[in-house]
Amino acid sequence: ECDGRIRNVKIGRYCSVAKHVDIGLPQHPVNWLSICPLQYISNFAGWAHLTGKEVSSKPFAQGVGMTEIGNDVWIGQNSVVLPGVHIGDGAIIGANSVVGSNVEPYTIVIGNPAKVLRKRFDDELINLMLRFKWWDKSIDEIDSLIPLLTCSDLAKVKKELKARL
Residue 49 known to be catalytic: no
Task: Give every strand in the sheet of 80-81, ordered side by side.
Answer: 22-23, 80-81, 98-99
Element (H, E) at 108: strand 107-110
For residue 69, count other CB atoms closer than 10 A to its CB: 24
Q: Considering only CA atoms, which of 95, 91, 100, 77 is closest in space to residue 25?
A: 100
What's the rounded Cα separation, in Å, for the pair 146 and 165? 17
Catalytic residue of the set 20, 28, 49, 86: 28
The set of catalytic residues is 28
